[in-house]
Amino acid sequence: MSGRALLMWDDALTGYDFGDGHPMDPVRLELTMGLVRAYGLDRAVDVVAAKPAGDSTLRLVHREDYVAAVRAASADPGAADQAYGLGTMDDPAFAGMHEASALIAGQSVGAAEAVWRGEAAHAVNFAGGLHHAMPGSAAGFCIYNDASLAIARLLELGAERVAYVDVDVHHGDGVQAAFWEDPRVLTVSLHEHPRTLFPGTGWPEETGAEGPAEGGAVNVALPAGTGDAGWLRAFHAVVPELLADFRPQVLVTQHGADTHFEDPLAHLAVSLDAQRAAQAACHDLAHAYAGGRWIALGGGGYAVVDVVPRSWTHLVGIAAGVPVEPESVIPSSWRDEVYARTRQLAPGRMTDGRWPVSWRGWDEGYDPADRLDQAVLAARRAVFPLRGLLA
């Protein structure tokens, strides 16, 4: 297995562009890659571009009629079929949509292939993590579900156990749906409670299809306002024990940066420093339970200057084995780039001033009257007994 990590990147990934005023501004990808380069991380990884996902690959998850509908909308955006979730406010059709979406999917599939074959231990596709797309429809800014496609490709290559951990502020509903009946895949999602945020799913009672797959879906529905200590407490109260039990051959993680307190579309209060801590924890869990095989994806994140580039640059550094110090002063070259590109002032350091982040471990006890602890208890009680674990 190669010691160097892969960073999946093609400048054409910024072609995934829903247009002016849409929250999913591709400048977040451009600025992230710029910050990766400013720190020299592009020299610590192998930067590679995989080919776009072809139709046979897309059909591992998506229905043939849906792929055809995306192609048609891509060729003629004005004729997009809203029955497939295309041409809506969330997912406006744009020329070249199929090609841009297939390219993102191809990077995640390529990452999965490289990690499975031992060409790299870790691979990052921060343009990916489009976890809301369903087999037959677009949803939540997501056209093709690259995370599900990467997992499906791993299964096709012979993987028998794949774990997916999603720390985006929104429920990883599309990935859960894709593997609802498949006991080979464990999906774990920590997200803002469905009562207060799209997509309205991800209740703890959603545990997988009855039968062998029951207990294969895990949902930690966090109360709005959850901050660093509660978020990390919930993560460590659920994820490590499940991975220790499941023993995945590969760990796939989704790192939406929209849990941040500055994100305009959600209501958690997590800092960049806690996001970095969760990324480092995922890296360590991959080594503890998945033989070091780790595929890390991006996801949501709509504070496109202040948060997303810093969060995902930390992710690349951790995967590369050269983590960026939180107190690091951001290179002035990147800050100049940000101003030239957006006319916004860039942040000065790679921290929100909360490093190191601390939290209280679950083994220290819990408070049944605390809303965060209630969320953790609900998830553990719904799933742990199904897996033969103590709730």
The residues that are catalytic are 132
Residue 201: alpha-carbon gap to chain centroid: 17
- DSSP assignments along 364-377, one per residue: G---TTSHHHHHHH
Pinpoint the alpha helices (H) of the chain. Answer: 27-38, 55-58, 64-75, 97-116, 146-156, 173-178, 228-246, 272-289, 308-320, 332-342, 371-383
The single-letter DSSP state of residue 271 is -
CA atoms within 13 A on the CB side of 256: 32
Tell me if 373 sits within 8 A of 366, measured CB to CB: yes
Q: Which residue has the tokens 């995370």?
A: 147
Tell me if 267 sits within 8 A of 225, measured CB to CB: yes
Smallest CA-to-CA distance from 266 within 207, 325, 329, 222 is with 222
Cα–Cα distance, 62 to 55 (Å, whole number): 9
Cα–Cα distance, 182 to 193 (Å, whole number): 25
Rg (CA), the chain: 19
- H or E segment to which residue 7 belongs: strand 5-8
For 280, the token pair is 């480092």
Cα–Cα distance, 244 to 274 (Å, whole number): 22
Provide the β-strand partners of residue 139.
Answer: 142
Cα–Cα distance, 85 to 89 (Å, whole number): 9
